Amino acid sequence: MNARALRVAGPVLLVVVSLVAVIAGLAYGGGAAPLLIGDPGPVVRWGLPVATVVVNTSAATMVGSLVLALFSLKAGERPFEVALDTASIGAAVFTLAAAVTGFFTFLNVIPATPTADAVFGQQLGRFLVEQETGRTWLITAIAGAVLTVLTFAVRSWIPTLFVAIAALAALVPMGTQGHAGTEASHTAAVTSLVLHILAAAVWLGGLILLVAVRPVMSRSQLQTVLLRYSSIALVAFIMVSISGTVRASIGLVGWENLWTPYGVLVLVKVVALLAMGVLGAWYRRRLIARMGEEPGSRRFWGVILLELAFMGVASGVAAALARTPPPANELPPVDTTAAEVLTGAPLPPEFTIDRWFTAWEIDLLWALVVAFAVFFYLAGAWRLHRRGDSWPVYRTVMWCLGMFGVFWVTSGPINVYQDYLFSMHMIGHMLLSMAIPLLLVAGAPVTLAARAIRKREDGTRGGREWILWAVHNPAAKVLTNPYVTAGLFIGSLWAFYYTDLFRWSLYDHLGHVWMVAHFLITGYLFVLSLIGIDPVPYRLPYPMRLLVLIAIMAMHAFFGIAIMMNSGLMVAEWFGAMGRQWGPTPLQDQYIGGGVAWSVGEIPTLILAITVAIQWSRSDERQQKRRDRHVDRVGDVELDAYNEELAKLAARDARRAEREAARNRV
């Protein structure tokens, strides 16, 4: 099959297999069965999942093309232009499909016969504005329209990067749709679904782009792009597998339901994903190297078509699963407690000493962040070791300890109890913003990446190039300025707790994710500006660093005291309404949290001050040693000049004394 025929056959095969899979999945799982009450009709029952398949496929085309272009292609060349054109086509289809899906969703939620009268229009308008599901699809369609224009307009590196970030963000609202599992697992279900959608989009969209750019690339260029894509696809495959497993376990509510229609559809999707993983490993290890030969090239592209077919099966079955009722679809109990209403989870048992080690609630997002951060760091250190370069072991240990700290805070006892105890929330905050950054900065990840990641020689940008761009761009110069980092560090502390940001982090999991990321990043930047070895544009002299730390300690202590002296409860409708019968009262617990911010929170700052003092001392020692070595090589020019000047003064004084003595004799 020639390149242009493949360019058409690939997407057609994907769409046809997806449609067949979704129809078969709906028929088998009962997702399109008529409803006993409020049935929207066969057009909506079958049209909604079909439209969802189109949304998912077009979203993948948009996102995957942008991501692969950024990491594998060179801006300004024809393949990069084709990638952006492919992304713009995907965005346009995504916009239309999202609008159709939103309309079908409206007809499914509010069964009504479409008419041209004002009443129907008003119902549709209220659905799109007032109901969460309607707002989600409205926002998605608007985002798709904006992305259609942007992907058509941009043609350079940095604008494409921001468009890719916006495209990934546009898919997040879609993760809030579909089955969310039981109330107790709602957060885990939504998180796993969002990660699943994003990773699958990058994986599938990159594969579609490979087919699209084949006619405009030589075999050697395509070989290089394929190797880079396979690395991205491997990460996406891991994320899809893990998030899919979590999502399936929530939907099944026990593996005994695996042979129900819902469970069988899950198995079909798992088989399709595993087949794609095997095919990906095969062509990475065996076929890419043989693409220079005509038989090897034909075999490779045959495998690509087969992988697209499996992608179609997985996409179609996923859309059918979203409409198939899970086997355990229980209603929440009548005696739901206040804690369950607020948090979506039952009140945990009393917090005791052993809970510090036994209480766990895994946050899949941060667990994956930690796992990938540790893996890539260790891989970089091992690469340096293999080529004979050294990397301090203590830095590796510091990085791993810091990442374990992130995992413990986001998935351990603090994550279990922070919604019920303000003091636990404050402990997590102090660790994320003050203690953990000390360990992560000591790991020097940017320096390791700059040394370990191979430099691109073909004008494209890989991990090393994007990391160095992030370090040296103008925004980074502002954000790493010592005064800016100090202002963000202490200013965000007050702004978060004395505005509705704190309330947002409690009520919305997205707000919670933002909170963790914000405190971790601001703390990291602050510590980096003071003691890090990673490159930053400017660092204060050591005396000024200590003065900044003293000011931060004072303001931090004042913050803790302000909370302790607060006579009212912060977010009273949350912490004051849990109905827990154990532990201190909410106001007493808030007082404890203020004490944590004042006392325990100052310990990392004190360690930071000691570290700055030690670095100052070592800096003076190094400067003196450099001066001594310089003197040994060329002599002490300043001292010699000083001695020569003294000698001149002595000679002049001697002559003056002789003249005075001669006058006295006369």
* Helix pair 482-497, 509-531: axis angle to 10 deg: 150
Supply the pLDDT for residue 460: 92
Of the given ranges (15-29, 30-44, 420-434), which has the lowest mean pLDDT? Answer: 30-44
Indicate if the pLDDT at residue 180 is higher than 50. no
560-572 pLDDT, tens digit per residue, is: 999 999 888 998 8
CA distances from 151 to 26, 174, 206, 481, 559 (A): 34, 20, 16, 33, 46
| Contact status, residue 172 vs residue 146, Cβ threshold 8 Å | no
Supply the pLDDT for residue 258: 78
Residue 355 lies in a domain: no
At which residue do the structure tokens 């003196």 appear? Answer: 624
How many C-beta neighbours within 10 Å does residue 130 have? 9
Residue 352 lies in a domain: no
Cβ partners under 8 Å of residue 574, min gap 6: 342, 503, 506, 507
357-401 pLDDT, tens digit per residue, is: 899 999 999 999 999 999 999 999 999 999 888 899 999 999 999
204/237 same-domain check: yes
Model confidence band, residue 181 (pLDDT cutoffs 50, 70, 90): very low
Helix or strand or coil: residue 459?
coil
> Taking the alpha carbons of 30, 36, 37, 38 in that order, is the dihedral positive or negative?
positive
User: What is the C-alpha separation between 174 and 139, in angstroms, rounded?
Assistant: 10
How many C-beta neighbours within 10 Å does residue 329 have? 12
- Rg, the chain, Cα only: 31
**What range defines the domain where residue 218 resides?**
3-323
For residues 119 and 336, the model is more confident at: 119
Averaged over 230-253, what is the pLDDT? 86
175/75 same-domain check: yes
Supply the pLDDT for residue 620: 53
At which residue do the structure tokens 């079908």 appear? Answer: 104
619-625-629 Cα angle (round to 5): 145
Q: Nearest 5°: phi and psi at 196? A: -65, -45
User: What is the C-alpha separation between 594 and 569, in angstroms, rounded?
Assistant: 12
Residue 75 lies in a domain: yes
Averaged over 632-644, what is the pLDDT? 59
44-68 pLDDT, tens digit per residue, is: 989 999 999 999 999 999 999 999 9
For residues 347 and 171, the model is more confident at: 171
9-31 pLDDT, tens digit per residue, is: 778 888 899 999 999 999 998 88
Indicate if the pLDDT at residue 635 is higher than 60. no
Indicate if the pLDDT at residue 183 is higher than 50. no
Supply the pLDDT for residue 516: 95
Averaged over 653-664, what is the pLDDT? 72
How many C-beta neighbours within 10 Å does residue 46 have? 18
Residue 374 lies in a domain: yes
594/652 same-domain check: no
Indicate if the pLDDT at residue 239 is higher than 80. yes
pTM for this entry? 0.88
Task: Name residue 551's amino acid.
Answer: A
DSSP 580: -
Residue 427 lies in a domain: yes
137/17 same-domain check: yes
Supply the pLDDT for residue 340: 77
Cβ partners under 8 Å of residue 634, min gap 6: none
Supply the pLDDT for residue 388: 87
Residue 629 lies in a domain: no
Rounded to the nearest angstrom, the gap between the alpha carbon of residue 117 and the centroid of all alpha carbons in its chain is 46
499-548 pLDDT, tens digit per residue, is: 999 999 998 888 999 999 999 999 999 999 988 888 888 888 888 888 88
Of the given ranges (286-300, 350-364, 490-504), which has the lowest mean pLDDT? Answer: 286-300
434/299 same-domain check: no
Please, how many CA atoms are within 13 Å of residue 461, restricted to the half-sphere of its CB? 18
Output the average pLDDT for the chain.
Answer: 85
Going by C-alpha positions, the residue among 170, 178, 169, 172 that lies closest to residue 194 is 172
Supply the pLDDT for residue 280: 78
CA distances from 27 to 140, 314, 320, 591 (A): 28, 16, 9, 58
Residue 600 lies in a domain: yes
The two three-digit tokens of residue 230, written as one number: 């396979």
Model confidence band, residue 259 (pLDDT cutoffs 50, 70, 90): confident
Of the given ranges (297-301, 311-315, 321-325, 364-368), which has the lowest mean pLDDT? Answer: 297-301
Model confidence band, residue 169 (pLDDT cutoffs 50, 70, 90): very high
Averaged over 93-117, what is the pLDDT? 88
Residues belonging to the chain: 666
Supply the pLDDT for residue 550: 87
Averaged over 604-619, what is the pLDDT? 82
261/389 same-domain check: no
User: What is the C-alpha separation between 549 and 547, in angstroms, rounded?
Assistant: 5
Percent of the chain with pLDDT over 70: 88
Supply the pLDDT for residue 261: 87
The two three-digit tokens of residue 241, written as one number: 């597998």
- For residues 644-665, one letter each, b for 16 or more C-beta atoms within 10 angstroms of the residue's C-beta and e for the rest, the string is eeeeeeeeeeeeeeeeeeeeee
Supply the pLDDT for residue 622: 57
Averaged over 472-491, what is the pLDDT? 90
State how many domains the chain has: 3
157/246 same-domain check: yes
327-344 pLDDT, tens digit per residue, is: 755 444 555 677 777 777
Model confidence band, residue 179 (pLDDT cutoffs 50, 70, 90): very low
Going by C-alpha positions, the residue among 105, 178, 183 that lies closest to residue 325 is 178
573-610 pLDDT, tens digit per residue, is: 899 888 888 888 999 999 999 999 888 777 888 888 88
657/618 same-domain check: no
DSSP 116: S
| Contact status, residue 138 vs residue 174, Cβ threshold 8 Å | no
Supply the pLDDT for residue 47: 92
Residue 508 lies in a domain: yes
Supply the pLDDT for residue 375: 96
Going by C-alpha positions, the residue among 344, 330, 343, 348 that lies closest to residue 184 is 344
579/644 same-domain check: no
382-388-392 Cα angle (round to 5): 60
279/417 same-domain check: no
Indicate if the pLDDT at residue 96 is higher than 70. yes
27/88 same-domain check: yes
142/254 same-domain check: yes
